[in-house]
Amino acid sequence: MYVTIDKKHIVITLVICTIFASVLCLVYNNVFASKSNWGLSFKEEGVAPDGNATTEFLKQYDSYYIGNTDEKKVYLTFDAGYENGNMPQILDALKKNNVKATFFVVSTFLKTDPDLVKQMVQEGHIVGNHTNTHPNMSKMSTMEDFKAEIEPVEELYKEITGEEMKKFYRPPQGVYSEDNLKMAKELGYKTIFWSLAYVDWYQDKQPSKEEAFKKLLPRLHNGAIILLHSTSKTNAEILDELIKKIKELGYEFSTLEELVNS
């Protein structure tokens, strides 16, 4: 028995499949991405991962997790909730290698270590907003609540440096909602996620140098926004060598300002 399918039915089938795929994409972007923990899916070594929200979805809210994947550039960022003695070594490694980074700071860091903040600025680094109390920002349902976590950081930064804070924001632990992204954009902020990170934040379970390199280097990719924690003793100890290894692989370190203006 043979089934004959004419061209008309083939075209109709293709149209239906296209519509179905578009609907699935819409549902993904507007439902699953509306409230989520930032996450990545790596396909293979050296290839940019997929985020749990697409670059197109994020772009409408001036949000980023990766740079141009056609360019061999990377962007180094640190989350700095508090200072535990590692920042001087981190800043020394950056200065030694002429690399500019972005430090996303919490109010605690600004209050306890204003001199380090001044040093960051003097040495050409960006200091970004990581919120006042490091909460679950997806629970901030009103602009008033959102501002209560953003504005104190801006005020402290201006008191310390005499300058306005540059408008880069990273939600604590990557927890966000679509409303958060809208609010950040309304306040003039660029929301910055990441495309490369590893488990480096447990103080009593720090990775070895070998473990750190094994996690980071194989997953390096064009346009990588790298997230490290400044509280990591391992990160402080390996940063000089890590930067050199990344450069040896042919990557150029760029800044978030260049990323958002490209």
Q: What is the pLDDT of residues 66-95, one digit of tens each?
A: 999 999 999 999 999 999 999 999 999 999
Signed CA dihedral, 171, 37, 262, 118: sign only? positive
Domain of 84, CATH number, reads 3.20.20.370
As for how many domains the chain has, the answer is: 1
CB atoms within 10 A of CB 259: 20
Is beta strand 63-64 parallel, antiparallel or unpaired with respect to 40-41?
unpaired
Name the residue with tokens 């991962």.
49
Name the residue with tokens 């880069």.
168
In a domain, 19, yes or no: yes
In a domain, 1, yes or no: no
In a domain, 91, yes or no: yes
Residues assigned a catalytic role: 79, 229
Res. 21: pLDDT tops 80: no
Q: What is the Cβ-side half-sphere exposure of residue 224, based on CA atoms within 13 angstroms?
A: 26
CB atoms within 10 A of CB 102: 24
In a domain, 2, yes or no: no
Q: What is the pLDDT of residue 36?
A: 83
Res. 201: pLDDT tops 60: yes
Residue 190 and residue 208: Cα distance in Å, rounded? Answer: 33
Assigned token pair, 237: 């100890």
CB contact burial 38-50 (16+ within 10 A = b; e otherwise): bebeeeeeeebbb
CB atoms within 10 A of CB 191: 23
Q: What is the pLDDT of residue 86?
A: 98
The 10s digit of each residue's pLDDT in 111-131 is: 999 999 999 999 999 999 999
Residue 165 and residue 234: Cα distance in Å, rounded? Answer: 29
Side chain identity at residue 151, one-letter code: E
Residue 94 and residue 246: Cα distance in Å, rounded? Answer: 13
In a domain, 40, yes or no: yes
In a domain, 78, yes or no: yes
Res. 15: pLDDT tops 70: no
Percent pLDDT > 90 in the chain is: 85
Q: Which domain holds residue 168?
A: 7-261
pTM above 0.85, yes or no: yes
Q: What is the pLDDT of residue 262?
A: 87
The 10s digit of each residue's pLDDT in 157-195 is: 999 999 999 999 999 999 999 999 999 999 999 999 999
Residue in 84, 57, 43 with CA at minimum distance from that of residue 181 = 57
Res. 22: pLDDT tops 50: no
Residue in 63, 33, 35 with CA at minimum distance from that of residue 140 = 35
Q: Residue 2 CA to chain centroid, in angstroms?
A: 56
